[in-house]
Each structure stands twice: as structure tokens, then as C-alpha cells.
Structure 1
Amino acid sequence: MAIKALIFDFDGLLMDTETTLLDSWRAEWRRHGHELDESSFFADHGGDTTDERYALLAATVGPGFDRAASHARRTAYRKERHRTMGLTAGLDAWLGEAEGLGLRLAVASSSQHEWVAGHLARTGDLARFEVLACGDEVAAPKPDPAVYRLALDRLGLPPEAAVAFEDTPHGVSAAVAAGLRCVAIPNLYAHNARFVQATLRLRAATETTLTSLLTRLEERHSG
């Protein structure tokens, strides 16, 4: 079946909000005279780990830790960083190609709808996406395939008619479990060796045109 839709992850794929997240926590640890253990920072799922991260920082700092003040600093820092953040390099060109090819566009994210829609509206890209499927609309985050199944249901398409784009191993697992072909563009904090389930893997969206990429996918599928 021909490809009719593209489904994109949001955090770390469409926008590099993963870096601002890490930087905000790194700054908070250093403010209290400690270093963040970055090796275990990113979870193997798309769920919210904010409470666990604060609990670890509080246990390290001790009784003087002020979570409310820490949270206010972190969110202000990220808000300022996000103010000028656009789509990841190469993605704007891909979306333009997709529109020219008549492909339908969707987002499948473990983040909340308000977060995803707010950022896409800020950059003027929200209207490009016919469907948003988000973490607060399903029972479990990635690697559970629920959010991809929701996106497919809203598109009214079977999985073989769409392609997913992901930046994490658990995101790829979710897409594959939903029956989708998946193109992986690993983020800076993910180990390339963990993307064995991906149909194709790229270093960056800038290394190829979308048209060429879709041709490769179709060739692999027909082969």
C-alpha cells in the first residue's frame, strides 16, 4: 500500500526540547553544588518523570531543598530557551515536501496536548498537522503503542499506509508495535545501537530529502 501519511514524534524529533530539559536540570544540580548523573537521566519510556527527578535532587541536597523555587527557575529557563526554538534542522523542508506530495501529517507524542499544540502554534506549524495524538489522551506512554494507534484511528488509515519518525528506542518500539514502518533519527542522548527495530536510521533530517527517503522505504517494502 502506498504511503499516505507521516506521523512524527514531538520532543527530540520535531523540536529539540530534550536538550533544554537536560540543561535545566543540570543547572539546578550545579546550583546546589552537585553534578547531575546524565547517564541515567532519560527514561526508557515517554512518561513524566518529574517527581522522580525532584525526589532524587531533594535527597541529594537535603532538608534545605526548595522544590517550588527550583521548579520556578527551571520552567522559566526552559520558557526563555523555547521562545526562539523552531523545528529541528531539515524538518521544515520535509514538511514542505510532504505537503507538495499530498501526504497527510500527524503527531504522536507522549507529551500532553497543550505542550505539543502550544509549541507548534508558536512556530506557526500547528495548521500543517491534521492530527495530534498525545499522552494525556491514552492510558500509557511509549513504548506502549496506544498513541500511535490513536493517531492512525484519527487519520482513518491502516498502519501500512503511514510512516512514523522517532528519536528514541522506546518511540521506535511503540511505532513498530502499532504496525508502522519507522524512520529513526536518534537524538544526542540515545545510543545508536538500540535502534535495531527501525526500518531506516538517519543521522539527521538534513542528510536526505523526504522524497528520496520515501523512495527508499517503498523499495525496501516491495523488496
Structure 2
Amino acid sequence: MLRALIFDFDGLILDTETPEVHAWQEMYAAYGQELDFAWVAYQIGRGAEQIVERPVDKLANLVPSLDKEAVEGDYRARRMSAILAEPIRPGVERLLAEAKAAGIRLCVASSSRHEWVDTHLSRLGLFDFFEFTCCADDVERAKPFPDLYLLALEKLGLDASEAMALEDSPNGSQAALDAGLMVVAVPNEVTRYLDLSHATAQFASMEEVTVEGLRELRG
């Protein structure tokens, strides 16, 4: 029986990932360089400690005279401006309300930190839908390791067979699978180009996801 849904945040509830990629593409282009999409895609959904090389460091290797501090400041301003203009992804609010009405418990498992996740959920008016949020500062290893999902299950007091995860990236999906969860993948503009074939099911939009459909998948 489906008793809980565990949501990713970045890229699933709010598309923070597409603005991030676009901002770095703009920064690279400003220095006559091209951002390697495959390299960036590999990082999506990973915790900060799991990222081997930051985009600014990679750019600095290509442009030795780069002022990394100035570039990072410009990047952060571009990214945040775009993120604040992003709406909640279509179908998210409807699914949250539908699940809540059906008595299904809701929580978040994110590779970002509480300050980021909780602030945005509050700003968007979604924070109160969730019992709690599990974030990178709650575990030693963020995604693609399963620790965040295992913590969420522990706090819910449920077995993995009683819950499902909703994700947008291969790294996040793998983390959920390794925690024993079924995973529904709903990619965004960036992650739709990535291989999500290991997910239990994949939908083009959260507008296609319903509680009834998730219950049928869960069995």
C-alpha cells in the first residue's frame, strides 16, 4: 500500500537546474568557451561533496587569467534572477493537494541544504504540504548515495515498499533505487536528455502523475 511520497526538490518541484546550466553556458560563452553539456549533466542531482570539479574551476583551466571570484559572483546573480522568475513546475501543486487529501504522507529528500530548500518551499507556499525535509546537511553522503532516502524512510517509520520517490535526474533516481524505493522520474528541460531508463516509470510532466496512477504502480 502506498503510504508516502518522497519528493526531490531541485529540478522536480522547482526547476533550478535549467537556470543553473543556462547561467554557466552564458559565462563560458562570455570567455569564448563552450560548456560541455555531458559533463554538466553528470553532476545534476549530486550533493556538493560529490562534485569532482566545479564549472568555475573547469573554466579557469581553459582561461588561466580568469577572476574566479568575479565569475562566480556574476554566475550566482544570473542564476538567482532566473530561478526567482521560475514558476512551480506544472502539476506539482495539484499532486501535492491530491496526495494530502488521500491521506498520503509527504516529505522531501534533497541534495541541497536546508537553507536553500526550506526557503524556496516557504517562498512558493509549499512548505506546509510536507511533514519534513531531509537535506544535504542531515547526512554525510548526499545523492547518488541512498542516505537521504534512507533517512526519510526512517523518519516516516515506513518500509520502502510503502513509499515511492519522485525524481528528475539519474543521480537522484539511483539514490532512491538503492534505498529500495520505486522511482517515478519526471525530467525537466535539461534532464530530459539524460538516461532515466532505470526508473520504475517516467512521465513528461507532473501533470500526468496522479495518486491513482501511483497506487497502481506501487501495487
Q: Structure 1 length normalisation: TM-score?
A: 0.89
For 1:217, the aligned partner's letter is L
Q: How far apart in 2 are the matches of 1:83 and 1:199?
A: 31
For 1:58, the aligned partner's letter is A
Asked if 1:30 is matched to 2:29, the reply is: yes
Matches within 5 A, 1:30-69: 30-43=29-42, 46-48=46-48, 49=51, 52-63=54-65, 65-69=66-70
Q: How far apart in 2 are the matches of 1:127 and 1:8?
A: 14
Tell me the SS of whatever aligns to 1:43: helix
Q: Cα–Cα, structure 1 residues 83 and 194, in superposed 2: closer, same or farther, change >3 Å?
A: closer
Are 1:131 and 1:155, in contact at CA under 8 Å, matched by a contact in 2?
Answer: no
Are 1:9 and 1:166, in contact at CA under 8 Å, matched by a contact in 2?
Answer: yes
- For CA contacts below 8 A with separation 6 or more, give which structure has more relative contact order: 2
Matches within 5 A, 1:185-204: 185-190=186-191, 194-204=195-205
Tell me which moved more, 182-191 or 168-177. 182-191
CA RMSD after TM alignment: 1.8
Structure 1 partner of 2:150: 149
Tell me the SS of whatever aligns to 1:35: coil
Are 1:106 and 1:130, in contact at CA under 8 Å, matched by a contact in 2?
Answer: yes
Structure 2 partner of 1:134: 135
Are 1:108 and 1:133, in contact at CA under 8 Å, matched by a contact in 2?
Answer: yes
Identity over aligned pairs, percent: 38
Q: 1:155-213: CA deviations, max 9, x gaps? A: 121111111001111211111111111111133333667323322111111124x1332
Moved over 4 A (4+): none
Could you list the runs of 5+ residues in structure 2 that have no partner in the other structure?
none
Asked if 1:83 is matched to 2:84, the reply is: yes
For 2:55, the aligned partner's letter is R
Q: How far apart in 1 are the matches of 2:83 and 2:103?
A: 30
Q: How far apart in 1 are the matches of 2:157 and 2:16?
A: 29
Structure 1 partner of 2:175: 174
For 2:11, the aligned partner's letter is G
Structure 1 partner of 2:159: 158
Matches within 5 A, 1:202-221: 202-208=203-209, 210-218=210-218, 221=219
Q: Cα–Cα, structure 1 residues 193 and 26, in superposed 2: closer, same or farther, change >3 Å?
A: closer
Q: How far apart in 2 are the matches of 1:54 and 1:84?
A: 24
Matches within 5 A, 1:93-132: 93-132=94-133
Are 1:14 and 1:91, in contact at CA under 8 Å, matched by a contact in 2?
Answer: yes
Q: Structure 2 length normalisation: TM-score?
A: 0.91
Q: How far apart in 2 are the matches of 1:42 and 1:111?
A: 16
Could you list the runs of 5+ residues in structure 1 that have no partner in the other structure?
none
**By how many angstroms is 1:138 displaced?**
1.0
Structure 1 partner of 2:20: 21
Q: Cα–Cα, structure 1 residues 31 and 78, in superposed 2: closer, same or farther, change >3 Å?
A: same
Tell me which moved more, 82-91 or 143-152. 82-91
Q: How far apart in 1 are the matches of 2:89 and 2:155?
A: 25
